[in-house]
Amino acid sequence: MSGGRILPVILPPGARGATGGPWRAPTLRARHGAVLVLALLLAVGAAEAAAEPGRPSILGTLWRWTPLLLEGFVFNIAISLLAMAIGTVAGLAVGLGLISPNPGVRGVSWCLTQLFRNAPWLVLLFFVMFLLPFEFRVGGVTIPFPGWIKATLGFALPVMANTAEIVRGAIQSIPYGQWEAAESLAFSRRRTLWTIILPQCVKRMLPPWMNLYSLVAMATVQASVVGVTEMLTLVSEVHAAEGGRPELLAPLYGYALLCFFLYCYPIGRLTARLERRFQVRI
């Protein structure tokens, strides 16, 4: 054997992959964004070439509609942030329910988690859109309940279920000795959970939770299917307003793609960084 005294079962450090060095998950990098920009420019160039002479330039068209499109994008962000906030608070409650000593609470939490975690987001969205009324009447006062709020609730449901699983997983990953030590110091279960277990969970929950947020931000475009005016709806309306020219399709949707990438990319990078940091310092 060429390895000399190296035991056959214990490989030398760095020998795991063919390239040497420990395996590392591929991460999103800035050059991936550059590829996107390049693709968008190519699409613009191609469209420019295909356009009939005398029409306004593609870049000019994009520029002209930018304020409206960005307004739509802000709406996407608002929906995602609000859905995340509602879903996180509800998910924390359901996640704590999943580890409740009360079998009834545990059962209900389990059903909620499984139902909303394993249903397609779009189906949930349709359910919420068509089951909730468009306005409430409370003592003669009519409170409108617009579509975008309903969509937000629709996205909050899967966020809740996924957050619940993140919370449960984090709590159960804390060594049992922590519970025993707290118990032997006369801490009640509730106090142990809030002052000893959960503070240690925050670090562990943060990366998957941020990952979930990226998914929600990108999923908000599904709201266009149920008639909420957000960026994707506006892109399609802009396209129609420009006379439905086919050469505009790629630049317009590429533009939307780029907006989402620029928003989610830093979140992805930060998540990866936090994960690496927490990996070393547990």
Partner 1 sequence: MAAWTPDQPLLRLADVHKSFGAVEVLKGVGFDVMKGEVVCIIGPSGSGKSTILRCINALVPIDRGSILVEGQEVNDPRLDKLALRRKVGMVFQQYNLFPHKTALQNVMMAPLQVLKQDKAEVEARAHRLMAKVRLQDKEQSYPGELSGGQQQRVAIARSLAMNPELMLFDEVTAALDPETVKEVLVTIRELAEEGMTCVLVTHEMGFAREVGDHIYFTDRGVIVEHGPPKEFFARASDPRTRQFLDQIL
- Residue ranges binding partner 1 (CB under 8 A): 175, 177-178, 180-188, 191, 195-196, 199-200, 281-282
Q: Residue 191 CB, nearest distance to partner 1 (Å)? A: 6
Q: How far is the CB of 196 from partner 1 (least distance, A)?
A: 6
Q: How far is the CB of 101 from partner 1 (least distance, A)?
A: 14
Task: Identify the burial level of 272 via C-beta atoms within 10 angstroms of its C-beta, where 0-12 means exposed, 13-18 middle and 19 or more buried.
Answer: middle
Q: In sequence order, what DSSP letters do the residues of 24-61 get, joined into one string?
A: ------HHHHHHHHHHHHHHHHHHHHHSPTTSPPHHHH
- Residue 102 CB, nearest distance to partner 1 (Å)? 18
Residue 188 C-beta: closest distance to partner 1, Å: 7
Tell me how far apart the alpha carbons of residues 132 and 140 are, in angstroms, rounded to a whole number.
Answer: 19
Which CB sits closer to partner 1, 181 or 241? 181
Q: How many CB atoms lie within 10 A of CB 44?
A: 21
Q: Which is nearer to partner 1, 106 or 203 (CB)?
A: 203
H/E run at residue 141: strand 141-144
Nearer to partner 1, 197 or 235 (CB): 197
Which residue number, 200 or 214, has a Cβ lying nearer to partner 1? 200
CA distance linking residue 142 with residue 97, whole number of Å:
35
- CA separation for the pair 156, 83 (Å, rounded): 4
CB of 181 to partner 1, least distance (A): 4
The answer to whether the CB of 97 falls within 8 A of the CB of 108 is yes
Q: Which is nearer to partner 1, 135 or 180 (CB)?
A: 180
Residue 233 contacts by C-beta under 8 Å, 6 or more apart in sequence? 72, 224, 227
Nearer to partner 1, 127 or 278 (CB): 278
State the Cα–Cα distance between residues 80 and 154, nearest whole angstrom. 11
